[in-house]
């Protein structure tokens, strides 16, 4: 067994040398099969989309915060979507909201987060030369790119992009008569999402295969960093749920274009009765949320994995309850598939189903709570270094708590009657899913930037970026809870038609100003990111003094990651501040036999085993050498 592994390593090392010389610009930067470059491609594309998505939110926050303001100055950009009186068109307002949601959820927090870090970190942290299939991995990016191009085009067509909300509930999304965005805009949305699903599946299959098959010697599942566990479970969720979205979208395509009635029934619109009968709009909601809810965890789990790693490293302390963290993530993974209908308590579905889903939903709060307590215990009695990555990780924990707690209100169907589809929901998911995942992504960028580009990002700009963004996010989303409790419905162009909502103009203005400042603060980050990429200070090999494998690669790892053999792994990744050890970290590559002073009793027993394996291997190595 051992000999086979060693032999494999030998051949792959040779392959890698063969590869190196025929890299030209196209194969290195564009149609690359190197997981690190693909990760960076996802990252840069994700940042591009984040700017677009954020900018769209600034546009509609202008409308909500300053309803009387003339938006004439936006005419060069928005053209006919600004009417003669200088007001934003209400239909385009809905399109803005829809595209903001779609872009942020799918393009930024799924592709930008999972795509970047799963690609970049999986081979580096498990000790593999590359993904199981570099070619599929390349396809994954280019399908995502294509999807993005189509979605981008849809922003500029005459009838506007899709406008029925990011959940695209039919019949609104099926009938062009109902809203202009449901014409060509919606068609492009569906095509773009189809390519996006293809991209996610190609990526997901690769992540799972790579983690199962390509772990280096000694890297058992119980020694995987929590990041890898998170990426693994995320990929599993995506693989099981995205096909359901595809099915839902396909049936919607049939309803839109081929006269079927999966979702349509008894509709009289635009002065005519449509022939469709027998369909059910609620069916679409079930199918959509069967992806839609797991999707929440698709964006959240990678962020939680990243922060587990960063918090442990910068607390100089093992993550508390490594196994409990894995079990919680497993629990969340499984439960995420059976809570979808809590988005539908008042959709008209059978109230008995509502009861069932309420119970299941509140169960999922337990593993989430365990994770929070474990984070707190990890910080407790640590030796905390506030790198920007660490700051953003702590910020994530705060959002995860705040948004998670409001989820307890919404998961309770009796309370949800009032709060459903109000700003309370908006506040809830922007904190727990949007901001938390975004912070996880930013934390990851700050933390792994030295590995990505061999340079450091400026820490002070990082601090400013963190404090502005952290404060900004709370100032944007905390007031929304009040607005939501007051009953302000979502996706409203203006609230002046209603007496019950004819207040809080000041609070809405405040939220809008906070949102614009928060958005502006992101340019500090972008400057830091692109400037440091070329002009940042040269990084050291292991700047955060971390234990995981990626820091054993050269400063600029080539395709294949390690120039020689892939290092073997002898311990879990969280041996920080181990009693007896001289340094406050022991990398995974240090054998237990080399650290007798810090070994725990049960590890001392493993040393014997380890010595035997190492002896066997050296014999095989000698034998191989003599053959050459």
- The residues in 502-541 that bind another protein, with binding defined as CB under 8 A, are 503, 537
Q: Select from 53, 318, 440, 450 the one that contacts another protein (CB under 8 A).
A: 318
| Cβ atoms of 574 and 321 closer than 8 Å | no
Token pair in block for residue 450? 């030295």
Q: Which token pair is 125? A: 């942290």
DSSP class of residue 573 equals T
CA end-to-end span of the chain, whole Å?
A: 21
482 binds another protein (CB under 8 A): yes
CA separation, residue 232 to residues 27, 111, 137, 225, 483 (Å):
28, 15, 15, 11, 38
Closest CA to 371 of 344, 337, 392, 401: 401
Beta carbon nearer to another protein, 135 or 386: 386
**Rounded least distance, CB 221 to another protein, Å:** 17
Interface mask toward another protein for 177-216; x: CB under 8 A: -xx-------------------------------------
The single residue among 454, 487, 558, 591 that binds another protein, judged by CB under 8 A, is: 487
Chain residues 140-159 in contact with another protein, contact rule CB under 8 A: none
Choose the binding region for another protein from 17-25, 187-195, 333-341, 496-504 (rule: CB under 8 A).
496-504
> CA-CA distance, 416 to 342, in Å (whole number)?
9
Kindly indicate which of the ranges 111-119, 162-170, 194-202, 240-248 contains the residues binding another protein, using the contact rule CB under 8 A: 162-170
Is 70 near another protein (CB under 8 A)? Answer: no
Token pair 């992009």 in the structure block, residue = 161
Structure tokens at 102: 């779609």
The residue among 115, 97, 118 whose CA lies nearest residue 106 is: 115
Complete DSSP assignment for 110-154: IIIIIIHHHHHHHHHHHT-SS-S-HHHHHHHHHHHHHHHHHHHHH
- Show contacts with another protein in window 579-608 (CB under 8 A): 579, 584
In angstroms and rounded to an integer, the radius of gyration of the C-alpha atoms of the chain is 26
Work out which of 307, 546, 577, 595 binds another protein, going by CB under 8 A: 577
- Work out how close the CB of 586 gets to another protein at its nearest, in angstroms, rounded to a whole number: 11
Span interacting with another protein, options 20-28, 426-434, 552-560, 573-581, rule CB under 8 A: 573-581
406 binds another protein, rule: CB under 8 A: yes
CB of 458 to another protein, least distance (A): 7
Report angle CA 440, 444, 446 to the nearest 5 degrees.
120
Q: Counting contacts by CB under 8 A, is residue 66 touching another protein?
A: no
DSSP 215: P
Among 132, 198, 237, 394, binds another protein (CB under 8 A): 394
Report 218-247 residues binding another protein (CB under 8 A).
Answer: none
Among residues 412, 505, 542, 593, the one that binds another protein under rule CB under 8 A = 412
Site string for another protein, 368-387 (x = CB under 8 A): -xx-xxx-xx-xxxxxxxx-
**Binding residue for another protein (CB under 8 A) from 429, 492, 562, 570?**
492
- With CB under 8 A as the contact rule, which of the stretches 435-443, 457-465, 552-560, 601-609 interacts with another protein? 457-465
Least Cβ distance, residue 588 to another protein (angstroms):
15
Q: Which of residues 22-61 bind another protein (CB under 8 A)?
A: none
Name which position in 414, 625, 626, 628 contacts another protein (CB under 8 A).
414
Position among 103, 108, 391, 445 found at the interface with another protein (CB under 8 A): 391
Decide: helix, strand or coil at residue 70. coil
Please, is 82 exposed, middle or buried when counting C-beta atoms within 10 Å of its C-beta (0-12, 13-18, 19+)? buried
337 sits near another protein (criterion: CB under 8 A): no
Block residue for tokens 């970049």: 120
| Closer Cβ to another protein, 111 or 425, answer by number | 425
Q: Cα separation of 560 and 9, whole Å?
A: 11
- What are the helix (H) ranges across 159-183? none
Rounded to 10°, the helix 134-154/184-213 angle is 160
Residue choice 6, 94, 150, 197 for contact with another protein (CB under 8 A): 94
Answer for the pair 140, 203: CB distance below 8 angstroms, yes or no: yes
Shortest gap between Cβ of 563 and another protein (angstroms)?
Answer: 27
Burial class (CB in 10 A: 0-12, 13-18, 19+), 593: middle
Pair 285, 352: CB distance under 8 Å: no
Per-residue burial over 441-455, b = 16 or more CB atoms within 10 Å of its CB, e = otherwise: bbbbbbbbbbbbbbb
- Looking at the Cβ atoms of 163 and 567, the one nearer to another protein is 163
Residue count, binding to another protein (CB under 8 A): 119
Nearest distance in Å: CB 468, another protein: 12
> Which one, 74 or 401, has the nearer CB to another protein?
401
Task: Phi first, then psi: give them for residue 428, nearest 5 degrees.
Answer: -55, -55
Task: Tell me the window of 107-115, 218-226, 320-328, 446-454 that interacts with another protein (CB under 8 A).
Answer: 320-328
Q: How far is the CB of 52 from another protein (least distance, A)?
A: 21
Part in contact with another protein (CB under 8 A); list of ranges 4-12, 21-29, 269-277, 444-452: 269-277
With binding defined as CB under 8 A, does residue 365 bind another protein?
yes
């Amino acid at each position: 067994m051992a000999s086979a592994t060693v032999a494999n390593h030998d051949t792959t090392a040779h392959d890698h040398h063969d590869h190196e010389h025929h890299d030209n610009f196209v194969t290195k930067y564009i149609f690359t099969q190197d997981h690190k470059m693909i990760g960076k491609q996802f990252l840069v594309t994700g940042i591009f989309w984040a700017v677009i998505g954020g900018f769209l939110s600034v546009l509609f926050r202008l409308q909500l915060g300053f309803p009387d303001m003339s938006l004439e100055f936006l005419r060069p950009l928005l053209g006919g979507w600004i009417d003669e009186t200088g007001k934003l068109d209400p239909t385009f307002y809905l399109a803005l909201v829809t595209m903001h949601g779609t872009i942020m959820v799918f393009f930024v927090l799924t592709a930008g987060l999972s795509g970047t870090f799963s690609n970049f970190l999986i081979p580096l942290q498990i000790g593999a030369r590359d993904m199981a299939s570099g070619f599929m991995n390349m396809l994954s990016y280019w399908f995502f790119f294509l999807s993005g191009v189509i979605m981008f085009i849809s922003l500029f067509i005459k009838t506007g992009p899709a406008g029925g909300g990011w959940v695209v509930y039919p019949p609104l999304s099926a009938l062009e008569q109902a809203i202009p965005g449901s014409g060509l805009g919606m068609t492009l949305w569906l095509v773009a999402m189809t390519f996006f699903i293809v991209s996610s599946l190609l990526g997901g299959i690769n992540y799972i295969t790579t983690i199962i098959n390509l772990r280096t010697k000694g890297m058992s599942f119980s020694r995987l960093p929590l990041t890898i566990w998170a990426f693994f479970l995320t990929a599993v969720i995506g693989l099981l749920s995205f096909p359901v979205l595809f099915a839902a979208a396909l049936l919607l395509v049939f309803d839109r274009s081929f006269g079927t009635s999966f979702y349509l029934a008894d509709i009289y619109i635009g002065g005519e009765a449509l022939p469709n009968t027998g369909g059910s709009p609620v069916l679409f909601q079930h199918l959509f949320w069967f992806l839609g809810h797991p999707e929440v965890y698709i964006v959240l789990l990678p962020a939680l994995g990243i922060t587990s790693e960063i918090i442990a490293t910068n607390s100089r302390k093992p993550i508390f309850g490594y196994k409990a963290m894995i079990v919680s993530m497993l629990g969340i993974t499984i439960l995420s598939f059976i809570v979808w209908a809590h988005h539908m308590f008042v959709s008209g579905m059978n109230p008995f189903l509502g009861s069932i889903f309420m119970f299941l939903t509140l169960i999922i709060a337990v593993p989430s709570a365990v994770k929070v307590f474990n984070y707190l215990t990890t910080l407790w009695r640590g030796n905390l270094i506030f790198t920007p990555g660490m700051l953003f990780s702590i910020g994530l924990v705060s959002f995860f708590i705040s948004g998670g707690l409001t989820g307890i209100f919404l998961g309770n169907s009796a309370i949800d009657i009032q709060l459903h589809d109000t700003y309370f929901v908006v506040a809830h998911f922007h904190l727990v899913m949007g901001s938390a995942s975004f912070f996880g992504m930013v934390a990851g960028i700050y933390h792994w930037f030295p590995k990505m580009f061999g340079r450091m990002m400026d820490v002070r700009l990082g601090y400013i970026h963190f404090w502005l963004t952290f404060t900004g996010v709370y100032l944007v989303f905390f007031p929304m809870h009040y607005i939501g409790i007051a009953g302000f419905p979502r996706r409203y162009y203006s609230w002046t038609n209603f007496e019950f909502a004819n207040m809080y103009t000041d609070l809405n203005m405040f939220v809008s100003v906070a949102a614009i400042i928060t958005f502006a603060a992101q340019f500090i980050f972008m400057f830091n990111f692109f400037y440091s990429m070329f002009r940042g200070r040269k990084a050291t090999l292991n700047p955060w003094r971390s234990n995981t494998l990626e820091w054993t690669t050269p400063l600029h790892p080539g395709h294949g990651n390690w120039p020689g053999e892939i290092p073997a792994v002898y311990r879990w990744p969280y041996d920080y501040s181990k009693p007896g050890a001289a340094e406050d970290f022991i990398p995974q590559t240090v054998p237990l036999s080399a650290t007798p002073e810090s070994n725990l009793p049960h590890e001392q027993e493993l040393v014997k085993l380890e010595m035997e394996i190492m002896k066997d291997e050296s014999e095989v190595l000698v034998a191989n050498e003599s053959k050459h």
